[in-house]
């Protein structure tokens, strides 16, 4: 029996706003919970409550599905923390074969994830104080042993950090067998804590910061030269470039080096390899266009003794725009004959930061995904809803600028979650759409307390105006319910913050589902 058939079970529940909603299958709920996970409190759900719900869902699902979902989340959705949680919880419940070993090996994509997984295992198994990691799941140990043999000295040294579990601790606990003499030499260096210090942009800048300079001007010149050297070396990774654009500007690097940075950011192959969440580009864009506080700016310039290269900001913004356009290049199925409506939820519950340290809000993610999709549609209307529903005309090829335009105007529609108004408007205007897409946390209701709800209106719309129309819910919060019944009346669910959600969209167009993609993962 296919997992997605279980979603047809019609279980009516209420959402966090008290409105009628529909329960998903355990597999669908686990999928939406995992790919929208941030390990922080959400608007409606505390982190502890979500963790407990995750445990219950894992116990209800087929262990193989859980394992494939963990690897899917790590390798396809670019997530790092929640795959480790899934592997740890799976190790508690499953034994008798090598599934946990294969999943463990599959979720470790970087050398530091060996120690991160062990720290996760320690916390979730309550191994504190004297109960620390003196023993480990045998299958997890086997999987970590395989992972140990996939990394070289540079990779180990780059992520050899102090923490609750150190790399040396992990080596003693896992006891990996070296695949050859060179690997054994690396293991010996880990034990002796004398791995060769790696050449990275972090270590280079840190070392420079420890030096004494004769003047502020000399220090500024040294940092400019170091940034130029790092850019030339190619050692600054794609994400590091995104996060340091303001620093590179303030360092006053040459125009030639600015061109190199822009070329890297906008290169389609580099974009594909970087595997960045779309909102990372938005965060970099906002950092560049946000005016610096005058007092802070004076202090910054006095410290650097230079004015930086603010005149080159336009080129950086262009490079970021090209980058996000490249990330949308593989979206297919939206020609001039496909009529599309994109509706973004900008309600109060969507205005929650995705993590404690992030300035990116949940509705930023919805806006970003919608604008990526809009850039690939020829026949499209876009809008936002809160208390009201409003369509807004924006150019197709200005993704980041469009997000900012919606961001600037979100207060125009209020902060409720009246998503039903999107369908009400289509019915009133008698507009035929082929695809209606809602980017939301799925906590829709009728704040006007009238008889309309989105489920009834969609059925009416299909019956009277657009019988072939499809509705796609892009679930950005994973609370476990949907405002419409899935897999009936052409209603489909997609979840996550990565541009890989469009792969799910493509699978649905071919008659599949998100769960089909997950089940295709090799372990």
Asked if 485 and 417 sit in the same domain, the reply is yes
Is the per-residue pLDDT at 164 higher than 90?
no
What are the start-end ranges of the E strands in 286-359? Answer: 339-345
Structural domain that includes position 462: 339-519
**Which residue(s) pair with 391 in the sheet?**
383
Tell the residue number behind the tokens 């086997």, with chain if given.
Answer: 142
The distance in angstroms from the start CA to the end CA of the chain is 20
Of 275, 293, 327, at which residue does a domain stop?
327
Q: Identify the DSSP state of 163.
A: S
Residues 372 and 477 in one domain: yes
- Comparison of pLDDT for 381 and 14, the residue scoring more: 381
Using a cut of 0.75, tell me whether the model's pTM lies above it. Answer: yes
Is the distance from CB of 383 to CB of 400 less than 8 angstroms?
A: no
Task: Sheet with 339-345: list strands edge to edge.
Answer: 389-391, 379-385, 339-345, 435-440, 470-475, 491-495
CATH code at position 505: 3.40.50.410
**Mean pLDDT of the 272-285 span:** 91
Phi, psi of 317 (to 5 degrees): -65, -40
For residue 231, report the phi and psi dihedrals to the nearest 5 degrees.
-65, -40
Q: What residues have CB less than 8 Å from 67, skipping those under 6 apart?
A: 86, 87, 90, 99, 100, 102, 103, 106, 523
Instruction: Give mean pLDDT, residues 186-208.
Output: 90
Question: Mean pLDDT over all residues of the chain?
Answer: 89
Residues 348 and 483 in one domain: yes
> Residue 19 falls within a domain, yes or no?
no
Torsion-angle region of 308 (φ positive above 0: left; ψ -120 to 50: alpha; else: beta): left
Model confidence at 292, in pLDDT bands (50, 70, 90)? low
Does residue 9 surpass a pLDDT of 50? no
Does 452 reside within a domain? yes
Residue 17's nearest CA partner among 43, 56, 37 is 43
Same domain, 38 and 182: yes
Same domain, 279 and 405: no
Q: How confident is the model at residue 83 (pLDDT cuts 50, 70, 90)?
A: very high
* Domain shared by 361 and 487, yes or no: yes
Query: Is residue 333 domain-resident?
Result: no
Is residue 198 assigned to a domain?
no
- Our count of domains for the chain comes to 3
Mean pLDDT of 500-518: 91
Structure tokens at 375: 């850039």
Single residue among 167, 192, 217 that ends a domain in this structure: 192
Pick the more confident residue, 129 or 270: 270
My answer on whether 388 and 492 are in the same domain is yes
Question: 178 and 222, same structural domain?
Answer: no
Provide the token pair at 138.
């045998």
- Position 201 in a domain: no
Q: Give the model's confidence band at 10: pLDDT under 50 very low, under 70 low, under 90 confident, else very high.
A: low
Number of neighbours of residue 134 by Cβ within 10 angstroms: 8
Is residue 261 one of the residues assigned to a domain? yes
- Quick one: which H or E segment has residue 391? strand 389-391
Tokens of 27: 């597999």
170 and 242 housed in the same domain: no
| Same-domain pairing of 236 and 294 | yes
pLDDT by residue (tens digit) across 389-418?
A: 999 999 988 999 999 999 899 899 999 999
188 and 68, same structural domain? yes
Q: What's the CA gap between 111 and 72, in Å, rounded?
A: 19
Is 48 a member of any domain?
A: yes
pLDDT-derived band of residue 17, with 50, 70 and 90 as boundaries? confident
Q: Cα(385)–Cα(382) distance, rounded to whole angstroms? A: 10
Domain boundary among 138, 165, 192: 192
What are the pLDDT digits (tens) for 28-80?
Answer: 999 999 999 876 666 657 788 889 999 999 999 999 999 999 999 999 999 99
> Is 219 in contact with 213 (CB distance < 8 Å)?
yes
Domain assignment present for 171:
yes
């Amino acid at each position: 029996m296919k997992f997605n058939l279980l979603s047809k079970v019609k279980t009516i529940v209420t959402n966090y706003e008290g409105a009628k909603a529909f329960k998903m299958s355990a597999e669908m709920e686990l999928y939406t919970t995992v790919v929208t996970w941030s390990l922080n409190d959400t608007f409606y759900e505390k982190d502890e409550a979500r963790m407990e719900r995750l445990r219950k869902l894992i116990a209800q699902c087929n262990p193989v599905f859980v394992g494939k979902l963990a690897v899917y989340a790590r390798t396809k959705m670019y997530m790092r923390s929640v795959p480790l949680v899934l592997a740890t919880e799976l190790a508690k419940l499953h034994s008798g074969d090598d599934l946990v070993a294969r999943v463990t090996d599959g979720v470790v994509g970087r050398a530091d994830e060996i120690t991160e997984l062990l720290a996760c295992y320690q916390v979730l198994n309550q191994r504190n104080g004297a109960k620390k990691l003196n023993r480990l799941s045998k299958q997890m140990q086997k999987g970590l042993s395989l992972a140990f043999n996939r990394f070289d000295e540079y990779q180990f040294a780059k992520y050899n950090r102090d923490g609750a579990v150190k790399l040396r601790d992990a080596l003693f606990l896992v006891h990996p067998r070296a695949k050859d003499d060179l690997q054994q030499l690396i293991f010996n260096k880990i034990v002796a804590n004398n791995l060769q210090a790696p050449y990275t942009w972090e270590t280079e800048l840190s070392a420079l910061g420890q030096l004494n300079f004769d003047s502020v001007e000399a220090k500024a010149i040294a940092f400019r030269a170091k940034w130029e050297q790092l850019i030339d070396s190619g050692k600054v990774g794609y994400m590091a470039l995104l996060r340091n654009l303001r620093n590179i500007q303030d360092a006053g690097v040459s125009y030639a080096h600015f061109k190199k940075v822009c070329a890297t950011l906008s290169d389609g192959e580099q974009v594909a390899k970087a595997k960045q969440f779309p909102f990372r580009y938005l965060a970099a864009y906002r950092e560049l266009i946000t005016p610096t506080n005058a007092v802070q700016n004076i202090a910054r310039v006095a410290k650097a003794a230079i004015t930086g290269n603010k005149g080159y900001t336009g080129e950086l913004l262009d490079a970021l725009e090209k980058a996000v356009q490249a990330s949308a290049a593989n979206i297919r199925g939206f020609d001039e004959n496909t009529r599309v409506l994109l509706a973004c939820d900008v309600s109060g519950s969507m205005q929650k930061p995705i993590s404690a340290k992030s300035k990116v809000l949940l509705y930023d993610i919805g806006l970003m995904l919608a604008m990526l999709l809009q850039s690939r549609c020829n026949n499209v209307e876009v809008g936002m809803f809160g208390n009201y529903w409003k369509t807004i005309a924006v150019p197709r090829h200005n993704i980041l600028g469009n997000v900012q335009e919606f961001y600037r105007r979100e207060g125009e529609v209020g902060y409720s979650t009246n998503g039903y108004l999107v369908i009400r408007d289509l019915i009133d205007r008698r507009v035929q759409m082929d695809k209606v897409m809602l980017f939301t946390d799925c906590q829709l209701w009728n704040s006007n307390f009238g008889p309309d709800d989105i489920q009834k209106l969609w059925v009416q719309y299909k019956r009277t105006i657009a019988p072939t129309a499809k509705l796609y819910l892009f679930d950005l919060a994973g609370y476990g319910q949907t405002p419409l019944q899935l897999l009936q009346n052409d209603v489909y669910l997609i979840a996550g913050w990565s541009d890989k959600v469009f792969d799910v969209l493509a699978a649905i167009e071919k008659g599949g589902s998100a769960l089909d993609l997950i089940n295709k993962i090799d372990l």
